[in-house]
Chains A and B, each alone.
Chain A
Amino acid sequence: MTESAPDLLQRKIIHIDMDAFFASVEQRDDPELQGKPVAVGGSSKRGVVAAASYEAREYGVRSAMPSITAKRRCPDLIFVKHRFHVYREVSQQIRAIFRMHSELVEPLSLDEAFIDVTQDKMGIGNATRIAEMIRAEIKKQTNLTASAGVSYNKFLAKIASDQNKPDGICVIKPHQGADFVAQLPVRRFFGVGPKTAERMAKLNIHNGADLRAQSEDFLRQHFGKSAGYLFRASRGVDHREVRADRIRKSVGGERTYGDDLVTDSDLQDAFENIIDIVWNSIEKSGARGRTVTLKAKYADFRQVTRSHSVDHYVADKNEFAAIGRELLEQIMPVENGVRLLGLTLANLEGAEAADARSTASVHDANQSTFDFD
């Protein structure tokens, strides 16, 4: 069968991810901060870390971590306020570098992007060399380092860029894809959070190879609509295209809680944390939107959503938080415990136009494709 055969039109995809982006920019611009543990974000009681320098990471400081926890782990941690206009500028610079090599650039946020270099615009000859040129050019122009993943699909390219971070590169060739995925812990698969990983562990699924041993039916039974993705990804297969015109329709985030939230104050505390995390990713993506949606899942797995639209783009974190709190009040008090809370900003700028453009390009996972390389 064709399972292990490369059954995609062989694409060459690079995933570029800036190393500790916000923190590195701050360290670059303030020599005082160089070599020190730095966190970008608010140091207040409610603040969360938006980005941590590699020095801070050694102490276990991570992005999206409450600032209080971060300070406890690393007492010398220096908090600096974010400067999004600077990050945006750098982001423009690196995107211009990407576009020198391909029209097909899909930014995921200010500091990462997929680049499809199958066409090799500059005629460099191989994708690894292109990735190295991009990294060198980023270093030269911005004095910042980036890591690159090079592979034949988006899933593997993204995983590869994380492999030799910081300032590293990792190439996964078509014949290595399946083996590479086999040894990958399930947590590294997109969409597998701590909760799902726990459920997988109970089923004795720890890595890609374990996942691959399961039938699609089995995966569907246990993991619902992620089944198709998990089935393909565990085989190193990912048919998604790099889409230059892709515009996000929403930005959001959610958390599943180990212990159900029962009291109003537990709920509110957790919610404030969600606001921080989600607003961080909104700022990071540079998105502006008009609709805020709250999602809650109860202990009995019943799910409710509440949303509210305003006639302008949500201006700042305060407005976002205020709308969010109103929505939360609508579902309070909760009779059952809450196991999941999420917030989303939708109706984004530019999304309507993207809707009209998007074409239904259906890829059948079972149809094999030519290997032109």
Chain B
Amino acid sequence: MKATIERAALLKSLGHVQSVVERRNTIPILSNVLIEASDGGGIKLMATDLDLQVVETVEAQVETAGSITVSAHTLFDIARKLPDGSQVQMDAADGKMKVNAGRARFNLQTLPRDDFPIIAEGDLPTRFELPATSLIQIIDKTKFAISTEETRYYLNGIFLHVQDEDTPVLKAAATDGHRLARVTLPRPAGAEGMPDVIVPRKCVNELRKLLDENSESSVQIDLSASKIRFTLGSAILTSKLIDGTFPDYTRVIPTGNDKLLKIDPKSFAQGVDRVSTIATEKTRAVKMALGDDKITLSVTSPENGKAEEEVPGSYTEEAFEIGFNSRYLMDILSEIEGDTVELHLADAGAPTLIRENDKSAALYVLMPMRV
């Protein structure tokens, strides 16, 4: 294999694939990136962790077609340190790959291409397209609620499912048992009849990075009950799905919460942030006392002392107190875009529904903390 590629193009594509590669690998080939140069010009770069793989296609001048694998992180670091604008020549022969650019010469160890594991996609019968902006919205508004608890692996991702309501919808939900985030969008054409799937967190994170550079375009999604593939720009991301049953989360979304608080999310979040300065890792709880058109936020820490702040809001129901984990509350508030947020409360022990208004695509449910 022999090919020449512009340094900036190589760096950009390697940046996409190398983050899939785990820093520590017990299987050596998983540290490597597969480089495939084809006769028609252009090379493919591919990395995998066995659950997730990224393939990136870049333009290059191919002299001799062929394929090889080299350490992804090493090649990425080399590309990073090469002078801008340089042409990088990669030449693989006899178990080594030479990398030449400007006055620098590298001779890298390789592993045979045939040892490189490729995820068998199988049949992906469902195909639909989503604007990158919709996908960004889904991820940003739900990702923070994904559980990291490995024993409940079926919560370690974003749950996607379609439903027929007044109009057909696609819903994305994530929960860690303490909070739930859900985005509802019109069902894209082609998604009808798709299986319920749970997209793992690592796939979500990698996808989000790729979306940053392709935020104008639309993303093609192909999936089966066990695999999902995202095609965006020059990148193709394929991931196994989490094999588990997502709980029937709709049952924890309260419908009869009759105490409505309307408040400015920014001053609310800032207030929570300020009073929680006092809170320690152990006592993240912030107490919220609701009264006539105002709330009083307070934190008491046995070690640090006390903090209190009043935030104006619109509230006319009976006064009561409720506690929340301040971080959970701020996670949600930071995703509210408008200048009002609605908190639908019931009592100090029941879940609270949070949303911008009844038309907003995103909805959050937060469980209280005893304070």
Contacts and interface: CB of A to CB of B under 8 A. Distances in A.
A363 to B, nearest CB: 9
A179 interface: no
A370 B151 contact: no
B348 A1 contact: yes
B370 A2 contact: yes
Contact of B175 (A5, A241, A366, A370): A370
A39 to B, nearest CB: 39
Contacts of B180: 370
A367 B367 contact: yes
A5 B349 contact: yes
B164 interface: no
A371 B151 CA distance: 17
Interface stretch (B40-48, B113-121, B188-196, B242-250): B242-250
Contact of B368 (A2, A9, A241, A359): A2
Interface in B349-371: 349, 351, 365, 367-371
A367 B370 CA distance: 6
Contact-size category for A: 20 to 34
Nearest to B245: A119
A1 B322 CA distance: 9
Contacts of A359: 150
A242 to B, nearest CB: 7
B251 interface: yes
B248 A366 contact: no
Task: Pick from A5, A243, A370 the residue with the most CB of B within 10 Å.
Answer: A370
A67 B294 CA distance: 72
A1 B368 CA distance: 10
Interface string B228-266: 000000000000000011011101100000000000000
B353 to A, nearest CB: 13
B348 A367 contact: no
Contacts of B152: 9
A7 B368 CA distance: 10
A367 B369 CA distance: 4
B331 to A, nearest CB: 14
A227 to B, nearest CB: 15
Nearest to A9: B177
Nearest to B323: A366
Contacts of B154: 119
A243 B351 contact: no
Interface residues of B, number: 30
Nearest to A370: B252
A366 B351 contact: no
A368 B349 contact: yes
Given A243-B151, A359-B150, A368 B370 contact: yes
Contacts of A104: 151
A368 B368 contact: yes
Nearest to A367: B369
Interface string A338-368: 0000000000000000000001010010111
B247 A372 contact: yes
B196 to A, nearest CB: 15
Contact of B367 (A242, A244, A370): A370
Interface in B148-179: 149-152, 154, 175, 177-178
B349 A370 contact: no
A129 to B, nearest CB: 17
Task: Pick from A242, A366, A371 the residue with the most CB of B within 10 Å.
Answer: A366
B249 A372 contact: yes
B284 interface: yes
B369 A364 contact: yes
Contacts of A364: 282, 284, 325, 369
A369 interface: yes
A370 B370 contact: no
Nearest to A243: B151
A244 B150 CA distance: 11
Interface in A194-216: none
Contacts of B351: 370
Nearest to B282: A364
A54 B151 CA distance: 37
Nearest to B154: A119
Nearest to B251: A372
Given A370-B351, A372-B247, A1 B252 contact: no
Contacts of B252: 370-372
A370 B178 contact: yes
Pick the 8 closest A-B CB pairs, nearest first: A2-B349, A372-B247, A366-B370, A9-B177, A370-B252, A368-B367, A369-B177, A366-B369
Given A370-B249, A370-B365, A372-B251, 7 more contacts: A2-B348, A9-B177, A364-B282, A364-B284, A368-B349, A368-B370, A370-B367
